């Protein structure tokens, strides 16, 4: 079956009152809705969806990954942030990598694996805001992992791309040849294949080992991952591929409740998780964009302004996002009116800023984002990820757990705030979003996909507020994605990187943006995955009516009751 990347079908908003879920796979959305109907909170439903996605969309998320959450508590009318990202090994050694010939951190070796924070985050979320047990929320995922599920279109179209990584056929191109770690003769990635091949779209797939691991978590709780045999198995396997992790790095790990950061935009407030996540990029871009009247602009002016605001937002994120337990973040200066106005003053109406020292590269859509609002008005915005598709591709034998490669985002410059250091958490791209208005929850939303995420947040926010789009319209609208991978440009006329533009923009708009100095590259077909996939659930706080949209760029849907 050939997957259609043209997204021709029209979607209506889903409208309900008693509860709403939205995710990138229908069975996962259904699992969350069933939990709500059984009396669970938004937290309970979110964990059920995340666990189900680890089964039905296994190369985007899983037990071996990390998780960030924003949660709206309707009883206290407050937003809480949860950081479920783990640190790299205490013995991680930057100089060892550099002396071995690495110029950047490798992505697909054991060095890239940090302690997976997912299960600790699920547990912390349920402990604070849930009514059901971890076992209750894992039950749907366990059932489908053991009994099987039909593979959906977009997920199935990407599955064959993972074969080489699962079977360790090709090494990381950044890895010096003398440091290649071929690992076992029979790679454990076969647990995600059928006789060495990927399942076909529509074919039934079982992930028995993963289901059995989830059964153990349901029985023993979070300690099964962090205090028992799993940690030993994971570390032994990671070391076969050059990694540093020890069981002692897993032991005692806990997800961390933190204060979110926010930016006011017109009459709404955007909340993001603070560093070590890149929510700072979205907050800075939003603060700058708030100084422009985007609703009165034409499409060219609005897109130009949003691009410039986003580039300036990334400028700050790439300077400062790091583990705040190791590096101080200068919020007072960054969020000051004087500094924001200085950034605003650097944006020209008809000319792209030249030579910004920013370096980012689109990294695809290998993450899952989900949103839930329950009938009591509690909201959960949750993002779960392995980073690159399938993370490292390293599967802990007999467990069905694929290990992420989040540590690959460390810098090898020892003077950078995000420099690799033992026990430190890396820069994280995954960010959930949340909007409030007049002290009430307005929307739980997010757009996943590497460095696309803050860009997606800004664009969806502008669509909702400036263009007054409904949730589905806000997601359907074509997007831009920055590709600033040349260190800021070479010549005086180089604005510092490409702007990928999704199919759907008017040709005249593209021409006008080029005339302003933007290097515009139209994108269609499979490459459209760089624009990520999002979910939006909006709530009318007077009537309690919920309105949801689900991104047509993914396989999923919103469901309500």
| 34 secondary structure, DSSP code | H
How is residue 395 annotated by DSSP? E
Q: What does DSSP assign to residue 277?
A: B
What is the total residue count of the chain?
561
What is the C-alpha separation between 166 and 368, in angstroms, rounded?
20
The catalytic residue positions are: 367
Contact 376, 71 (CB under 8 A): no
* Integer Cα distance of 144 and 151 in angstroms: 11
pTM: 0.95
- Which residues fall within 8 angstroms of residue 484, CB to CB, at 6 or more apart? 311, 314, 356, 358, 359, 360, 361, 496, 497, 498
Residues 499 and 482: beta-carbon distance below 8 Å: yes
311 Cβ contact partners less than 8 Å away, ≥ 6 residues apart: 353, 356, 358, 482, 484, 496
- How distant, in Å, are the alpha carbons of 70, 92, 117 from that of 120? 15, 22, 5
| DSSP 8-state code for residue 503 | B
State how far the Cα of 378 lies from the Cα of 434, in Å rounded to an integer. 12
Q: What pLDDT is recorded for position 524?
A: 85
For 290-349, what is the HEC assignment? CCCCHHHCCHHHHHHHHHHHHHHHHHHHHHHCCCCCCCCCCHHHHCCHHHHHHHHHCCEC
Helices (H), 392-451: none
* 335: CB partners within 8 A, 6+ apart: 283, 287
Phi, psi of 441 (to 5 degrees): -65, 125
pLDDT along the chain (561 residues), means of 10: 71 97 98 98 98 97 97 98 98 94 91 97 98 98 98 93 84 50 66 95 97 98 96 96 96 98 98 98 98 97 97 94 96 97 95 77 73 98 92 94 95 96 97 98 96 96 98 96 57 60 94 95 87 96 96 96 97
Q: Tell me which residue of 403, 121, 396 sits closest to 232, measured CA to CA.
A: 396
**pLDDT confidence of residue 494:** 46
Rounded to 5 degrees, what angle do the CA atoms 387, 549, 309 make?
A: 60
CB 382 within 8 A of CB 460: no
């Amino acid at each position: 079956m050939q997957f259609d990347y043209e997204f021709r079908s029209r979607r209506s908003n889903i409208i309900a009152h008693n509860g709403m879920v939205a995710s990138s796979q229908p069975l996962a959305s259904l699992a969350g809705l069933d939990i709500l109907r059984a009396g669970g909170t938004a937290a309970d439903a979110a964990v059920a969806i995340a666990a189900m996605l680890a089964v039905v969309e296994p190369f985007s998320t899983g037990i071996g990954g990390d998780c960030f959450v924003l949660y709206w508590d309707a009883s206290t009318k407050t937003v809480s942030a949860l950081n479920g990202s783990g640190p790299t090994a205490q013995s991680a050694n930057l100089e060892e990598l550099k002396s071995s010939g690495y110029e950047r951190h490798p992505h697909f070796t054991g060095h890239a694996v940090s302690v997976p924070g997912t299960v600790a985050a699920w547990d912390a979320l349920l402990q604070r805001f849930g009514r059901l047990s971890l076992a209750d929320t894992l039950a749907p995922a366990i059932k489908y992992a053991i009994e099987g599920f039909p593979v959906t279109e977009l997920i199935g179209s990407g599955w064959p791309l993972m074969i080489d990584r699962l079977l360790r056929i090709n090494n990381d191109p950044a890895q010096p040849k003398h440091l290649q770690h071929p690992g076992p003769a029979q790679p454990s990635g076969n647990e995600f294949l059928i006789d060495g091949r990927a399942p076909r779209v529509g074919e039934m797939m079982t992930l028995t080992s993963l289901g059995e691991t989830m059964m153990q978590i349901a029985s023993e709780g979070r300690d099964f991952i962090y205090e028992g045999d799993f940690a030993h198995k994971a570390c032994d396997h990671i070391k076969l591929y050059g990694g540093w992790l020890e069981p002692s790095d897993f032991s005692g790990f806990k997800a961390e409740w933190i204060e979110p950061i926010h930016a006011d935009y017109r009459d709404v407030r955007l909340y993001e998780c603070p560093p070590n996540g890149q929510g700072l990029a979205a907050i800075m871009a939003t603060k700058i964009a708030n100084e422009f009247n985007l609703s009165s602009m034409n499409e060219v002016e609005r897109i130009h302004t949003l691009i410039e605001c986003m580039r300036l937002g990334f400028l700050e994120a790439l300077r400062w996002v790091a583990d705040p337990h190791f590096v101080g973040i200068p919020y007072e200066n960054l969020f000051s009116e004087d500094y924001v106005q200085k950034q605003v003053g650097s944006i020209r109406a008809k000319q792209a800023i030249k030579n910004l020292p920013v370096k980012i590269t689109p990294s695809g859509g290998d993450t899952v984002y989900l949103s839930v609002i329950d009938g009591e008005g509690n909201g959960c915005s949750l993002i779960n990820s392995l980073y690159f598709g399938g993370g490292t591709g390293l599967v802990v034998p007999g467990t069905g757990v694929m290990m992420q490669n989040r540590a690959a985002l460390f810098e090898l410059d020892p003077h950078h705030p995000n420099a690799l250091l033992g026990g430190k958490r890396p820069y994280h791209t995954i960010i959930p979003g949340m909007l409030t208005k007049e002290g009430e929850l307005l929307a739980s939303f997010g757009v996943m996909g590497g460095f696309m995420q803050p860009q997606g947040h800004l664009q969806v926010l502008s669509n909702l507020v400036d263009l007054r789009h409904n949730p589905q319209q806000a997601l359907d609208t074509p997007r831009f994605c920055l590709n600033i991978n040349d260190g800021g440009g070479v010549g005086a006329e180089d604005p510092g990187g490409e702007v990928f533009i999704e199919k759907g923009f008017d040709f005249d708009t593209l021409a006008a943006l080029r005339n302003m100095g933007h290097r515009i590259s139209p994108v269609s077909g499979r490459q459209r995955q760089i624009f990520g996939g999002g979910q939006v659930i909006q709530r009318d706080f007077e009537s309690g009516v919920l309105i949801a949209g689900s991104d047509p760029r993914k396989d999923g849907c919103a469901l309500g009751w």
